[in-house]
Chain A
């Protein structure tokens, strides 16, 4: 599959005028997998594909320095490909200027505390139902694990996974749940790795970095941590595609993906909306509509 991927990228360099291919490579000091930016067909062999490719590479699509490298080809797991759809829907990228190489993914392995790869699935992959990428230009690999998650089957397909993952939170009373998040957020050091790793946190200047007025407390206090994490979750409501990049990047191990999933699940339950499955979808929140079912909006 790795060879299939490399051949496909070479082909794109040759025939589609691609200037840079964003993919996974062994870039860490100890051979850890991270993002590589291949600008020449000669370097394509740097690309790897295995069950350690955790990052969501779509985060690089909005960076001006990457855009400056020319036409982009990007390697996307099925979850990451949904982020590309959202980015295009939100006018951050021009989809036609981009080649999305979707890779079939049967789950990414977790990392042990010592940095080595565990034989267990990464938590968000445990209940994942999307193994075949949708809305991509090329699909690499095959699987028997089901169909691509597109607008048609998204609603049904994601339900079971959500329920399983949220079961833990739902079993708690409101007080227990609050205490749970209190404990989680108390570990936050406000490094903003969650924001930096998230493809949908693309604002030129984050509201957390604005100080006139200071809308949230920037100190790593419990109050400021609550404000930051809840604010980020709200900004991702109806947008988060559940790639888990934030939780993966969090040095404190806060289960940020659960927080986002709660809102994603609400979006689905109440509005039948699954982010990143429909090309051209209007944002779930904040679309003015004369026929809004809320009678008080006229």
Chain B
């Protein structure tokens, strides 16, 4: 005999304003099986929970319905309450009479009637609830960090310091990411490489970190605590365990200085065998097969060049190197794939985004993006830190900086603010002024967004002490002109504060482009079952309360792959992600909700519809054999470790031989029928 207790919450006046809670309580008390129907101002408060616990003990309730807010808010609270009172926590149902009733209706009698129906449905369901036990799964105490920019480095170091083995995968030949290429950092103007390289060295040497550069994540199977990851080690043609990093090879390469170096965004050159920058970790070269004379001719059966190999005393070069697939078991995954700059030219990956043809990027060599400018003023850059413009090497005296190139521009398709451009543009103007004392920096901006510790002071310093000329307005067009025999870039802008057009003849133009997620992030997200927004930024589980978790259990995000961020924020988030992963990996086993699919193997026809529909590859076709080993029948079977309880299999099963525990057809039909009575 069911003894259901129903506890209706006022939620202050959130519910009580539009729902007559007293009338609801009385109506519900008449339903069959309802042993008590109470109401209270705040059911989630301690007195509210005590009321529930007392009624359980007093009446020996067999099921509890709490009519209040969304189960997302308080289901855990009430499960705990009844568990402490001695009832299985899965015998609680919540009827959402706040978000789905009082908040969306303003006619009190109608809302009251609806609340009664919603609670009636929950009562019908809870009568059919079964006592369930959480599923326990083991945990592999190893973590995968994807991306070794500052976010990935920080996360890996924190995880390693926490005693967890870390596999750090980076697709470039060196760790360091975007930060390794920056000149100085705001708001302190400390050298980016000087603060990053010690960390880079540390990840290279840490006993708990297995560093895999020039590698990419190929495949991810499994589930939280028990992922199976396949990493593709791309052919590097150099055995980094033999190589000593002496440099004989890259200095001898006949292509030295002939191939644009992507680390310098094409401003500097390298050879076919190269290290991207002197502080690279590992400080071991890579052969760019597309440009290597030897490898390109091998297919034709010719043995050309090979000079690097002859120079190599360690015999570390292997022209026949192949990609290698390596498998790992890991318990947690931290994604730190970072960003790239939005492409200013006409070609776009995303058809909804448009470029800025009118700025002449790609056509005029002296129109550069902000990461290129970082290299131009960086001591390790192609000009050795001397500000020289790319076209003729002349020292620019006037530079125009255009903020919000792409960002916050609905017409071009990117609506968001890239957050860091105001700050780094102010930094650029200062660094330029510090190097070219008679130079002038002009900045075209929409708004100055400099929230942060010492950030606004930094921008004021650029304007007040270093004389940057800020014009509030956009540039409509850039034209190459010749003034007194000199090449200039005429920027047609506006100064909306003065209400006048503002035309500046610049020696060089720097575009502060929007940040977008790095290439390939969507396919990675799909491998990990992590959501992403229309731009490809990965989705966190909750924007405020679960900022580094994702909806894929065991997968965490940090840094600019989740949204535009500066270095301090990225590092903080990386530590947070590492912390969350450590919490998970420190458990002896993980508990998973028992609300998963289950197959009635007697009735299953093994048609395989569920197998093909399952997004988590949690279902397989298995044989049932008798004791003598004879095949009785085939059936589909759910792996409880993999099932996420989405219910897709239930929907596609023609004979309804699969059911979702906790949301069985029996329960759902009972709910629907309670409405029809």
Contact = CB atoms under 8 A, between A and B. Distances in A.
A214 to B, nearest CB: 8
A204 B655 contact: yes
B669 A286 contact: no
B604 interface: yes
Contacts of B651: 286
Interface residues of B, number: 30
Given A205-B655, A206-B655, A215-B656, A282 B604 contact: no
A298 interface: yes
B168 interface: no
A204 B603 contact: yes
B604 A204 contact: yes
A180 B606 CA distance: 36
Interface stretch (B83-91, B187-195, B613-621): B613-621
B246 interface: no
B666 A91 contact: no
Contacts, number: 68
A238 to B, nearest CB: 11
B656 A210 contact: yes
Nearest to A62: B605
A235 B655 CA distance: 9
A212 B605 contact: no
B590 interface: no
A10 to B, nearest CB: 31
Contacts of A283: 608-609, 612
Interface residues of A, number: 23
B613 A288 contact: yes
A214 B668 CA distance: 12
Interface in A263-298: 282-283, 285-288, 290, 298
A92 interface: yes
Contacts of B26: none
Given A91-B634, A213-B665, A285 B655 contact: no
Nearest to B651: A286
Contacts of A290: 526
B253 to A, nearest CB: 40
B531 A298 contact: yes
Nearest to A202: B605
A288 to B, nearest CB: 5
Given A91-B621, A91-B634, A286-B652, A203 B612 contact: no
B27 interface: no
B367 to A, nearest CB: 35
Contacts of A214: 669
A287 B612 contact: yes
Nearest to A87: B607
Main secondary structure of the interface of A (DSSP, over half): loop
Nearest to A214: B669
Of B525, B613, B634, B651, chain A has the most CB atoms within 10 Å of the CB of B613
Interface string B183-211: 00000000000000000000000000000
Interface in A62-105: 90-92
B453 interface: no
A1 interface: no
B673 to A, nearest CB: 8
Contact of A213 (B525, B613, B669): B669
A207 interface: yes
Contacts of B665: 213, 215
B613 A204 contact: no
A288 B648 contact: yes
A207 B655 contact: yes
B357 interface: no
Interface string A177-211: 00000000000000000000000001111110010
Interface in B579-611: 602-609
Interface in B606-657: 606-609, 612-615, 621, 634, 648, 651-652, 654-657
Contacts of A285: 652
B145 interface: no
Contact of B614 (A91, A235, A288): A288
A287 B604 contact: no
Contact of A212 (B602, B607, B613, B666): B666
A213 B670 contact: yes
Contacts of B612: 282-283, 286-288
B532 interface: yes
A207 B605 contact: no
A286 B606 contact: no
Nearest to B128: A213
A68 to B, nearest CB: 12
Contact of B655 (A92, A203, A287): A203
A42 B648 CA distance: 51
B607 A91 contact: yes
B110 to A, nearest CB: 28
Contacts of B604: 204
Nearest to A234: B654
Contacts of A210: 655-656
A90 B655 contact: no
Given A90-B607, A202-B605, A207 B656 contact: yes
A283 B634 CA distance: 19
A71 to B, nearest CB: 16
A215 B608 contact: no
Contacts of A91: 606-608, 621, 634
Nearest to B636: A91
B358 to A, nearest CB: 31
A92 B607 contact: yes
Interface string A12-34: 00000000000000000000000
A90 B609 CA distance: 8
Contacts of B602: 204
Contacts of A282: 612
A210 B532 CA distance: 41
B557 to A, nearest CB: 15
Contacts of A205: 603, 655, 657
Interface in A212-242: 212-215, 235
Contacts of B669: 213-215
B195 to A, nearest CB: 37
B427 to A, nearest CB: 37
A240 B604 CA distance: 20
Given A91-B634, A213-B665, A286 B655 contact: no
Given A90-B607, A91-B608, A203 B654 contact: yes
Contact of A235 (B654, B657, B666): B654
Nearest to B534: A295
A235 B670 CA distance: 24
Interface string B560-585: 00000000000000000000000000
Interface in B516-556: 525-526, 531-532
B565 to A, nearest CB: 23
A215 B526 CA distance: 35
Nearest to A297: B615
A213 to B, nearest CB: 4
A61 to B, nearest CB: 13
B613 A286 contact: yes
B67 to A, nearest CB: 24
Contacts of A235: 654
A90 B634 CA distance: 12
Contacts of B615: 288
B526 A298 contact: yes
10 contacts: A91-B634, A203-B654, A204-B657, A207-B655, A286-B609, A286-B651, A287-B612, A288-B648, A298-B531, A298-B532
Q: List the 3 closest A-B pairs by CB distance, nearest first.
A: A213-B669, A203-B655, A286-B652
Interface of A: 90-92, 202-207, 210, 212-215, 235, 282-283, 285-288, 290, 298
Given A91-B607, A213-B670, A235-B654, 12 more contacts: A90-B609, A91-B621, A203-B654, A204-B657, A205-B657, A207-B654, A210-B655, A213-B665, A215-B669, A283-B612, A286-B652, A288-B615
Interface of B: 525-526, 531-532, 602-609, 612-615, 621, 634, 648, 651-652, 654-657, 665-666, 669-670, 673
